[in-house]
């Protein structure tokens, strides 16, 4: 009992020292990041001021950003793009994970499904848009369908890879301890493939985001892609810039969220 009370006290010193050193390293990295950002903005200003290219400068874009944000337009666009991505992505992964497990677990299922997955992986989801519009109409369905496809294809392969790369000795160890097939699946196969699945989610979300924007460029009445397409018609370069920056920023945020989830869920992994 006393030992347990004493232990944390003994650990305090090295831990705080470590924290400070880490904080220093992190803040140094952050400072450099900020520096890079300012240098980039400076460069952008210089190039546009000098009139080298006919692009809007950071100030003009910032003004346009405030305009679009205060009119609420920007948030409506973000809202419709995001809701498409999330709907398509969630549908995609919720079909992909069970099918990936099925493919990894049953050889028959693998042989039946794999040719299709491998084939469709080679077709960019966007290439399906014309077909989707013709067969599904011009409302939300074709857009959500192509995002579904993008998310599904990357996650199904990742899940299936995860299942087949589970260490066989872990399965043996579980069987020797009395585990049946169901238990092995739930207590060994599923946790062991989580890292793979999350990598698939990350790639899938990136692909979905890329796909939604492109799909909106082609066929939509709202969304960030649609806004850019409209701006292109009226030569509103600053609106295009605002949309581009928003797209990049939101993509980054989503990627970081999945990455954070990945880190939390796979702390048990040995990292090199």
Partner 1 sequence: MSTKIQFKNVSRHFGEGADRFVALQNLDLDIEDGEFVTVVGPSGCGKSTAMNIAAGLLDTSSGEALVDGEEVNGPGPERGMIFQQYALFPWLSVRKNVEFGLKIQGLPKEERKKISDRYLELVGLTDFADALPKTLSGGMKQRCAIARAYAVNPKILLMDEPFGALDALTRVNMQDQLLDTWSRERRTIMFITHDVDEAVYMANRVIVMASRPGRLKEIIPVNLPYPRTEDIRLSPEFAEIRNRVWHAVYHQ
Q: Which parts of this chain interact with partner 1 (CB under 8 A)? A: 167, 169-170, 172-179, 183, 187-188, 191-192, 194, 267-270
Pick 47 or 186: Cβ nearer partner 1: 186
Q: At what angle do helices 58-70 and 73-105 cross, to 10 degrees?
A: 90
| Distance (Å) of CA 170 to CA 8, 36, 177, 180 | 34, 47, 11, 13
Contacts 24+ apart (CB under 8 A), 221-229: 222/76, 222/77, 222/80, 223/77, 223/80, 223/81, 223/84, 224/77, 224/78, 224/81, 225/81, 226/77, 227/73, 227/77
Pick 10 or 270: Cβ nearer partner 1: 270
Closest separation between CB of residue 102 and partner 1, Å? 22
Closest separation between CB of residue 167 and partner 1, Å? 8
Residue 188, both tokens: 């060994």
Closest separation between CB of residue 264 and partner 1, Å? 12
Among all chains, which residue has been given the structure tokens 């009370």? 5
- Under 8 Å between Cβ of 247 and 258: no
Closest separation between CB of residue 176 and partner 1, Å? 5
Pick 70 or 267: Cβ nearer partner 1: 267
Pick 170 or 244: Cβ nearer partner 1: 170
Closest separation between CB of residue 183 and partner 1, Å? 6
- The 10 Å Cβ neighbour count of residue 30 is 10
Among all chains, which residue has been given the structure tokens 């470590």? 18
Q: At what angle do helices 129-136 and 140-164 cross, to 10 degrees?
A: 130
73: closest CA among 64, 86, 84, 83?
A: 64
Pick 190 or 214: Cβ nearer partner 1: 190
Q: What is the DSSP letter of 272?
A: -
Pick 9 or 50: Cβ nearer partner 1: 9
């Amino acid at each position: 009992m006393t030992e347990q009370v004493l232990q944390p006290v003994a650990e305090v010193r090295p831990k705080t020292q470590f924290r400070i050193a880490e904080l220093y390293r992190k803040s140094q990295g952050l400072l450099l990041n900020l520096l890079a950002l300012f240098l980039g903005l400076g460069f952008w200003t210089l190039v546009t001021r000098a009139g080298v290219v006919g692009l809007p400068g950071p100030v003009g874009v910032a003004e346009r950003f405030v305009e679009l944000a205060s009119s609420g337009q920007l948030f409506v666009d973000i809202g419709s793009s995001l809701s498409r991505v999330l709907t398509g992505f969630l549908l995609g992964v919720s079909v992909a994970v069970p099918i990936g497990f099925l493919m990894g677990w049953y050889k028959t299922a693998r042989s039946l499904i794999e040719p299709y997955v491998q084939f469709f992986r080679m077709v960019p989801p966007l290439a399906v848009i014309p077909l989707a519009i013709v067969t599904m109409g011009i409302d939300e369905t074709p857009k959500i369908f192509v995002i579904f496809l993008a998310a599904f294809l990357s996650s199904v392969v990742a899940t299936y890879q995860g299942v087949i790369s589970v260490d066989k000795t872990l399965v043996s160890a579980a069987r020797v301890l009395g585990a049946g097939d169901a238990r092995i699946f739930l207590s060994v196969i599923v946790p062991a493939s989580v890292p793979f699945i999350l990598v698939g989610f990350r790639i899938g979300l990136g692909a979905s985001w890329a796909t939604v924007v492109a799909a909106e460029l082609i066929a939509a009445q709202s969304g960030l892609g649609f806004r850019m397409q409209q701006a292109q018609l009226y030569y509103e370069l600053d609106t295009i810039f605002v949309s581009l920056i928003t797209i990049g920023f939101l993509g980054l945020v989503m990627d970081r969220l999945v990455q954070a989830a990945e880190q939390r869920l796979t702390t048990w992994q040995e990292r090199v």
